[in-house]
Amino acid sequence: MKGLSKEGLVFFESWVEISFFALFTIGFVLGKLLVDLAVMYLIIAAAGLITGRLVYLRRENDPLPYYGIGAAFLIGFLLGHRIGAGIIIAAIFAVAAFLSYRAHKALDFLA
């Protein structure tokens, strides 16, 4: 690639680590800021739905980085949450990710 130095390609080589840290931080901050239990459950369910979609879209390639990125958000959220049970938060995330993956798989013919 003309005009790109080795330093400019660092993001492309370590995008998983950068995304992991960014989503871990976002999850932690959201966990600390949210004090309404219903909103917290909606946010974590939405994150699970997004994770399920990303894993589905990358199912033929290596989906492992997307599992890790989703897990980073979940771990950060669990470390930062102030109300609610952590096991329920993790279960909502996992169920939402699974249902999103299955829904995208079932509706693949629409794409």
Other C-beta atoms within 10 Å of 58: how many? 14
Predicted pLDDT at 11: 59
Q: And the tokens for 38?
A: 């219903």
Predicted pLDDT at 60: 86
Predicted pLDDT at 14: 81
CA distance 21 to 27: 10
The sign of the torsion formed by the CA atoms of 27, 28, 29, 33 equals positive
CA distance 99 to 106: 10
pTM, to two decimals: 0.84
Predicted pLDDT at 83: 85
pLDDT per residue, tens digit, the chain (111 aa), is: 455 566 666 656 788 888 999 999 999 999 999 989 999 999 999 999 999 999 998 888 888 888 999 999 999 999 999 888 899 999 999 999 999 999 998 887 665
Predicted pLDDT at 6: 61
Q: And the tokens for 102?
A: 């299955």
**DSSP character string of 4-18:** --TGGGHHHHSHHHH
User: What's the distance, CA 46 to chain centroid?
Assistant: 9
